[in-house]
């Protein structure tokens, strides 16, 4: 059933999924990926601790949060934590009304014990996919909210172990602190080397000026 559902990637919006995902289904993890207009990405994974079978409290969410997804760009696959850092954690009591899950007004009005983990990062490559690691026990519903297309209906996919999302394309950042072909680590290294070379050159110039001064002092005056 899940394998069939996870293939229903609805590029035109979640028109069918709410027929399968109804009555809250708190055992599922809800993963909302927001693509901001500045090129950054916000991924929020929410667990209903009263209904989820593996995450019953904040401590358990903290323990497993960094194992929810891998990020693949080109041929490189990297743990989410290495790309986005550690998440922030917070509690909620209401379901996300923007989620196109077909929640009833009664469900939206009810209070729940929800725990969420949220990552914010700017991907080095705007094109990437999210993967669920092998042997993951979690079932996640990933939906995409693109702020560049505020009127577009969210795309959906249900994901289990070893599944891959459709290609995700984030906005290009307005500017980059370093050239696209340099990573932040490379830029830091180059800066250190350049500063060291500049320091050596300044010392060399100072020594040269000092020697010229000594030579002028020794030169007979007429």
Are residues 193 and 115 part of one domain? no
Query: pTM of the full predicted structure?
Result: 0.69
Q: What pLDDT is attached to residue 213?
A: 60
Are residues 200 and 93 part of one domain? no
- Is residue 168 within 8 Å of residue 141, measured between CB atoms? no
Are residues 191 and 149 part of one domain? no
Share of the chain above pLDDT 70, in %: 74
> Whole-angstrom Cα distance, residue 62 to residue 64?
6
Q: What confidence category does residue 9 fall into, taking pLDDT thresholds of 50, 70 and 90?
A: very low
Q: What pLDDT is attached to residue 24?
A: 47
Number of domains the chain contains: 2
Any idea what DSSP says for residue 165?
P
Q: What pLDDT is attached to residue 79?
A: 96
Q: Pick 123 or 178 by higher pLDDT.
A: 123
Residue 30 contacts by C-beta under 8 Å, 6 or more apart in sequence? 45, 46, 96, 99, 101, 140, 141, 143
Q: Share the mean pLDDT of the chain.
A: 81
- What are the pLDDT digits (tens) for 75-115? 999 999 999 999 999 999 999 988 867 788 999 999 999 99
Are residues 45 and 25 part of one domain? yes
Q: Where are the alpha helices (H) located in the chain, listed in sequence order?
A: 2-5, 17-20, 58-64, 80-84, 105-109, 184-218
Are residues 186 and 164 part of one domain? no
Residue 137 CA: distances (Å) to CA of 21, 28, 189, 201: 19, 11, 40, 59
Are residues 68 and 148 part of one domain? yes
- Is residue 10 within 8 Å of residue 18, measured between CB atoms? no
- Is residue 126 within 8 Å of residue 171, measured between CB atoms? yes
Whether residue 204 has pLDDT greater than 70: yes
Are residues 189 and 123 part of one domain? no
- What are the pLDDT digits (tens) for 16-57? 444 344 444 557 899 999 999 999 999 999 999 999 989 999
Whether residue 181 has pLDDT greater than 70: no
Are residues 195 and 137 part of one domain? no
Are residues 140 and 187 part of one domain? no
Domain extent at residue 221: 178-222
- What are the pLDDT digits (tens) for 191-201? 787 878 777 88
């Amino acid at each position: 059933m899940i394998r069939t559902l996870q293939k229903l990637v609805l590029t035109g919006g979640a028109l069918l999924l709410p027929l399968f995902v109804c009555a809250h289904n708190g055992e599922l993890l809800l993963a909302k990926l927001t693509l901001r207009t500045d090129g950054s990405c916000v991924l929020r994974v929410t667990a209903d601790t009263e209904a989820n079978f593996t995450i019953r409290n904040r401590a358990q969410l903290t323990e497993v949060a960094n194992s929810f997804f891998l990020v693949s760009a080109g041929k490189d696959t990297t743990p989410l934590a290495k790309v986005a850092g550690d998440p922030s954690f917070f509690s909620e009591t209401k379901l996300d009304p923007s989620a196109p899950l077909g929640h009833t007004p009664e469900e939206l009005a009810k209070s729940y014990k929800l725990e969420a983990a949220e990552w914010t990062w700017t991907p080095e490559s705007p094109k990437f996919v999210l993967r669920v690691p092998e042997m993951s026990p979690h079932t996640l519903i990933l939906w995409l909210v693109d702020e560049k297309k505020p009127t577009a209906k969210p795309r959906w996919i249900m994901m289990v172990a070893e599944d891959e999302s459709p290609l995700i394309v984030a906005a290009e950042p307005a500017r980059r602190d370093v050239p696209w072909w340099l990573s932040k680590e490379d830029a830091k290294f180059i800066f250190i080397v350049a500063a060291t070379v500049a320091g050596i050159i300044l010392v060399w110039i100072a020594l040269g000026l000092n020697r010229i001064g000594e030579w002028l002092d020794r030169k007979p005056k007429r």
